[in-house]
Amino acid sequence: MHTTTGGRTRTGGTALLVLLIGQAMANIDLAIVNLAAPAVSADLDVDSSQLTLMVTAYALCSAVLLAPAARLGEHHGVRRVYLWGLSLFTIASLACGLAPDIASLIAGRCLQGAATALMISQVLVGIHRWFTGTARARALGWHAVTLSGGAALGQVLGGVIVSANLFDTGWRAVFLLKVPVGALVLLLGLALLPRERPAPTRTGRGGNDIPGTVLLAATTLSVLIPLSLERPDWIWVLLLASVPLAVQFLRTERRVIARGGKPALDLRPLSTPAVRWSLTAYAGTTLTYIAMLYLLSLHLQKHLDLPAWQAGLVPLGWVLAFGLAGPVLGRSPRAVARLLPFAGCAMLTVAYGLAPVVPAGPGTAVWPLTAALCLGGFGLGLAHTSLLNLLTTAVPPRHASTLSGTVNTLSTVVGVIGITLFGSGYSWLNDSDRAGPATAWTLTCAGLALVTGLCAFAALRAAATAPSPSDPSDPSAPSDPRGAVDAAGAAEPPDPAGATSTPGAVFPTKDRPGLSTPDAD
């Protein structure tokens, strides 16, 4: 896709701001609704399974649509798809706020999840396509700040809004307040986001990979549904079905590529060593991060007997430190920047090792645990920002939608796996006669440290195999003169979008005015 701005001069900062507000809205929504769940249960008189479905429906619908939504941005432009998602999110929020019963609320949450996929899938695509060099590193830093700030703000606002009972709306204000905010951001997006000219659609047999899209959605759901829902017991059969579904998905994508079509998820740019190691480290650290937030809620309230408001403040330092680490990458020399993924994973490992050792308990100050969590949050921010920068350097912008869909879907899947694996392990050990709460906390933290220790090794390998930023060639281009080869052995055909593999960035290190071109929007 050749990206251009409209006739007016637009700065990179304002466009990035609009994208990141959408990302923040999605993060705030997830945290705030979790805190509002008890009020929803009391008002609508729903059982625990319905309440769980209300919370998980959002994540399930979002996860299934992340990869296809990223591809929509490739074909229709980041601006258009992002604004579609923002409009749908605003409408869905209104529907949730006015829902008369739990069925309507669950339907509204599904719609919100779909809208979120449209929005957040475009954030990384836009950063990947619109920024280069130091400007991209700084944009990713602000992306990290947004992720942490949204989570922190959601933690704080959730209880405040529900308790305030604004205009006697109770929990409904959690959704209704997003309507005016969404409308305002929509106006900003119409005015500030750069217009784009969609890429030429690849013609020929198999241009639209509908079977691959369906198989990708089915594989994702077969993993997430059993891990998200407690009943019925037979639902675990779906997890077994994910293996043959994944195999069939890979076979289908190979056939689509062989006949010159456009695969639902093009895995070829993800086959280089630097990308594989980076994704491994990113997935592992994300898994431990989400698992730790869940474990903290159990450990602080059930074992340390902290009140809910205080238990909610302890991990606040974690998410804020995550955001503080974001800008470090853009201010680091190149030699130092290449070591940041390892340094971040190492700090995270140390934090997990310290968590069960530092003094904390009833009648004891919890600031040592909070300090250890701040160290982990800062390390996580370093790791995630630098790994994303490495990924966007190793994967050319023409594959931005593949990278965005992969990273976002992977984050959702491993997050659910982390909660299920470590949450179940903690609960089992906590209830065991041979273990107990203290041992459960120690062993689960040790497990988290083991995972991030392996991630540190993966981060080292990622940095060692990463392409040099000064190399003008396509980072994903192989040395084999016969052409690129994907993991399945299929040759990658030339990119029909143009002779160059990396279109010029709209917003390089210094903001520049765009070119006035016809726009398809």
Q: 521, 501, 400: which is closest to 131 by C-alpha? A: 400
Please give the residue that has the higher pLDDT: either 101 or 156. Answer: 101
Question: For 162-180, what is each residue's pLDDT tens digit?
Answer: 777 778 788 888 899 899 9
pLDDT at 5 over 50: no
DSSP of 439-485: HHHHHHHHHHHHHHHHHHHHHHHHHHHPPPTT--S-TT--S-TT--B
Distance CA 190, CA 188 (A): 5
Asked whether 37 and 171 are in contact (CB, 8 A), the reply is no
For 356, residues 6+ apart whose C-beta sits below 8 A from its C-beta are 438, 441, 442, 445, 446
pTM here is 0.71
pLDDT at position 183 over 60: yes
Work out the number of other CB atoms within 10 angstroms of the CB of residue 453: 17
> Domain locations in the chain?
11-193, 210-265, 269-467
pLDDT at residue 513 tops 70: no
Q: Find the largest Cα–Cα distance for the chain.
A: 71
**Secondary structure (DSSP) of 335-402:** HHHTTHHHHHHHHHHHHHHHTTTS--BTTB--HHHHHHHHHHHHHHHHHHHHHHHHHHHHS-GGGHHH
Supply the pLDDT for residue 161.
77
Q: What is the mean pLDDT of the chain?
A: 77
What's residue 364's pLDDT? 60
How far apart are the C-alpha atoms of 368 and 249, rounded to whole Å? 48
Q: Are 265 and 209 in contact (CB under 8 A)?
A: no
- Its CATH class, for the domain covering 11-193, is mainly alpha
d(CA 214, CA 201): 20
- The answer to whether 293 and 350 have CB atoms below 8 angstroms apart is no
**Does residue 73 register a pLDDT over 50?**
yes
User: For 259-268, what is the mean pLDDT?
Assistant: 77
Give just the sign of the alpha carbon dihedral 328, 333, 335, 338: positive
Residue 269 pLDDT greater than 90, yes or no: no
CA atoms within 13 A on the CB side of 20: 20
Token pair belonging to 472: 């003008």
> Which one is predicted more confidently, 351 or 238?
351
Residues 410-424, mean pLDDT to the nearest whole number: 83
Per-residue DSSP letter, 196: E
Token pair of 207 as six digits: 């241009």
Count of CB atoms within 10 A of residue 434's CB? Answer: 6
Residue 192: which pLDDT band, with cuts at 50, 70 and 90?
confident
Higher pLDDT, 147 or 22: 22
Q: Give the pLDDT band (50/70/90) at residue 469.
A: low
Q: How confident is the model at residue 460 (pLDDT cuts 50, 70, 90)?
A: very high
The rounded distance, in Å, linking the Cα atoms of 396 and 501 is 7
Separation of alpha carbons 425 and 311, rounded Å: 21
pLDDT above 90 (res 92): yes
Provide the H-helix boundaries in 98-204.
102-130, 133-164, 173-176, 178-192
| CA dihedral sign of residues 404, 405, 409, 414 | negative
175 and 93 in contact (C-beta within 8 Å)? yes
**Sign of the torsion formed by the C-alpha atoms of 375, 380, 381 and 382:** positive
pLDDT band at 277 (very low <50, low <70, confident <90, very high): very high
Strands 2-3 and 196-197: antiparallel
- For residue 230, the model assigns a pLDDT of 66
Mean per-residue pLDDT for 321-340? Answer: 81
pLDDT at 511: 37
Q: Which pLDDT score, from 0 to 100, does residue 187 have?
A: 93
Say yes or no to pLDDT of 115 above 90.
Answer: yes
Which architecture, in CATH terms, is 269-467?
A: Up-down Bundle (1.20)
Read off the pLDDT band of 194 (50, 70, 90): confident
The pLDDT value given to residue 197: 65
Query: Per-residue confidence at 10, pLDDT binned at 50, 70, 90?
Result: very low
